[in-house]
Amino acid sequence: MTVVERREIALVDLLDRLLAGGVVIKGDITLRIADVDLVRIDLNALISSVNAQVPSPFEESP
C-alpha cells in the first residue's frame, strides 16, 4: 500500500476523480460549471494539450 501511495499520481487518474467524482454542489460561482460543462472542459483541456501531430479525438466509452 505504501508503495502505491508514494508513487506520483497520474493526472488522468486524478482527473477521473476530481472532474467526474466528488459531490456536485451549486456553489455561488460554479453553479453552471459544476456538472456537465466541467467534463467537457476537461476533455478540451486535455485534447488541446495533446501533441498536435496526434489527431486524437477523445474516445467515447463503449
Partner 1 sequence: MTGLRYVYAVCRPFGTPLQSQLTGVGGDPPRLLPHGDLVAVVSHVPEADFAEEPLRAHLEDLDWLTGVARAHQGVIDALTTVTTPLPLRLGTVFRDDSGVRTMLEGQKESFLGTLDRLEGRVEWGVKVFIEADPAQETPATPSPKPASGRDYLRQRRMRTKSQDDLWQQAETFATRLHETLSGSADDARLHAPQNPTLSGVSGRNVLNAAYLVPRVKSEEFVERVDRTKDGTPGIRVELTGPWAAYSFAGEEAAGQEGT
Contacts of residue 33, defined as CB under 8 A and 6 or more positions apart, other chains included, come to 41
Question: With binding defined as CB under 8 A, does residue 2 bind partner 1?
Answer: no
Closest CA to 47 of 38, 57, 59, 39: 57
Cell 502505491: give the residue. Answer: 4
Question: With binding defined as CB under 8 A, does residue 45 bind partner 1?
Answer: yes
Closest CB 62 distance from partner 1, rounded Å: 8
Binding site for partner 1 (CB under 8 A): 1, 4-5, 9-30, 32-35, 37-38, 41-42, 44-46, 48-50, 54, 56, 58-62
